Amino acid sequence: MTTSSAPRPRRSVLRALALAALLGGLTPVGPASALAAEPETFTLTIRHLDRTGRPATEYGTQVLGLAGEGADEAVHPYDASGTTTVRLPRGRYMLNSALTDRRGGISTDWIVQPRLDLDRDTVVTVDARTTAPVDVRPPDPAAVFRRSGMFVEVSHGGVSREVNIVNATPSLRVAHLGPDAEPGSVRQWFDAYWSNDTAQYALGQTFTGSRALTGLTRHYAQKDLATLRLRAGARPGTTGTARYDLQPKGDTTVSAYGQLTAPGTTTFHVTPDRGTWNMTYTAPTAPEGTPNRYVADITARAGATTTHTFDNPVFGPSLNGRPGAERDGDKLLMDVPMLADGDGHAPSSPSYDTAFTTLTRDGVRIGTHSGTPGQAEFTVPPSRAAYRLTSTVSRRGATGATTRATASWTFTSEASTARTAGKTRGNTPLKTTGTSTPGRSPLPLSTVRFSPPLDATGTATAGTPVRVPVTVEGAAANGRVRSLKVSVSTDGGASWTRLPVEDGAVTIHNPRAGTGVSLRAELTDTAGNTLEQTLVDAYRTE
């Protein structure tokens, strides 16, 4: 018996079918479709050598795509022999490999190749003998190493990839591998943390160029560092354990973190050239309570000391660089922290019992919102009108830490001719940040901050006169105050005594021990906008 089969189409016929499909809207089928879909691939062979030059067996390697047909690739090839192969599409990649050395303790060799152009079968040798030590130290030789992280970000054609290595020991060695990448396309940063009995050291550096680092040496002197002092306040009658987290702002990195008994103080020495540092402070919380966090961005300057006190009076409204309220077409959006702490740090979840905000237009009430203190959204007519915005928050059991805060602002407003599309989510008010949102118009709100000399428990010495600095924030700041009146009460706001404001401060004669001191401010700015602000039981004497 004989069999027969149809002849296989020639390659030229397949190409013709594929071309016809592209030009005529046909769908290629069979082998032509497979040829069109499969990218060209090449073999990448990676040889790993340890510090003795022998094949490494304990390593982790990653290859990430940057451009070309392999732009979305992310592979982790491994073979116990030390040599591994993988097939990848044509394109630009970055490679990094961490090799572990266990002789005399655990140490790591981290080798980064920012530029790997795969356009043919390629062999790469990752050799631990090419690395050099990372030797970054604080000025105190007795300081103990805590942790470090090194990060490399490579950018190419609008795509960025980031790799990192985190270490619990100081024995890291690093090296660049391969050709240079484009100038400025490689950004690398290193953050290391040390501590002694009295302080912590946060030593960070950033580098930008065309290569990854091969070694890094920096021994800091005390004069090279800035000092950040964190004071954990304890509102009257409260104590507990606070948590903190300090790290450079803006980058993925490791941090200095820990716990602190409140009231208490901890000190950091940081590198100014790392940019702005970000501090997150979580106040002591009852087991069933909601954690209340404060966040501060701190600019460090070599030789200078900056102190931030968290969760301590006087609590009250604060703008601290934010607009507070904005007009967006027919929407009036408000976000004023009504219980910012004495340093102006806005709380994430302040404790309170009641909170409400009311808006009137030409004397007619538009509406009232209750809920989160100082947050509200109102729909208003477009025409120009006079508005009064009043926000109040009350909390029982907060004696000496503001039991009631009220702020009432007056201003005129109308819809802007350039408005953005609606940006609400149901009935949830939008939050504003440090600057006005594009398309919105900031409203001329102001706040007044009082800074009496208080101890870490938020109390002042009874029976003594104290100078209390008065600071204006918002629309009336920077010399735009037409008038400012300040009053004090020692009977819970039942009666008030006017105090002269002299050289940016008032003098208060503190009452007998155990008495709450309330504060009031009445302000008019140079444009005629006003503020009436009252803080009942702002601080307490002892």
Residue 9: what pLDDT? 37
Q: Is 363 exposed, middle or buried (0-12, 13-18, 19+ CB in 10 A)?
A: exposed
- The pLDDT of residue 22: 30
Q: Is pLDDT above 80 for 32?
A: no
Tell the residue number behind the tokens 């790591």, with chain if given.
108
Per the listing, tokens 């290629």 go with 28
Question: Would the pLDDT of 424 be above 60?
Answer: no
Neighbours of 73 (CB within 10 A): 17
> According to the model, what pLDDT value does residue 422 have?
36
For residues 466 and 1, the model is more confident at 466
What is the Cα–Cα distance from 394 to 354, expressed in whole angstroms? 5
User: For residue 260, how many other CB atoms are within 10 A of its CB?
Assistant: 18
More confident residue, 156 or 103: 156
Closest CA to 186 of 156, 158, 148, 165: 156
Closest among 507, 487, 506 to 497, alpha carbons compared: 487
pLDDT at residue number 321: 86
Greater pLDDT, 475 or 7: 475
Shortest CA distance to 454 belongs to which of 476, 473, 469, 436?
469
Where is pLDDT greater, at 217 or 351? Answer: 217
| Residue length of the chain | 542
End-to-end, the C-alpha distance of the chain in Å comes to 113
pLDDT at 518: 98
Angle in degrees, CA 30, 36, 38, rounded to 5: 100
Average pLDDT over residues 469-489: 98
Residue-level pLDDT at 286: 77
- The more confidently predicted of residues 98 and 2 is 98
Report residue 237's pLDDT band, with 50, 70 and 90 as the boundaries.
low
CA distance 518 to 520: 7
410's enclosing H/E stretch is strand 404-413
Starting from the edge strand earliest in sequence, which strands make up the sheet with 107-118, in order? Answer: 74-75, 59-68, 91-101, 107-118, 172-176, 132-137, 216-219
pLDDT greater at residue 105 or residue 361 = 361
- Is 231 in contact with 458 (CB distance < 8 Å)? no
Element (H, E) at 20: helix 11-24
Q: CB of 361 within 8 A of CB of 275?
A: no
Over residues 151-175, mean pLDDT: 97
What pLDDT sits at residue 438? Answer: 56
Q: How far apart are CA 329 and CA 334, in angstroms?
A: 14
- Residue 473, pLDDT > 50, answer yes
pLDDT band at residue 417, thresholds of 50, 70 and 90? low
Q: Output the average pLDDT for the chain.
A: 90
Q: What is the 3-state secondary structure (H, E, C) of 136-149?
A: EECCCCCCEEEEEE
Distance, C-alpha 163 to centroid of its chain: 20
Residue 220: predicted pLDDT: 98
Is the pLDDT score of 64 beyond 90? yes
Predicted local distance difference test score (pLDDT) of residue 287: 78
Q: Are 445 and 472 in contact (CB under 8 A)?
A: no
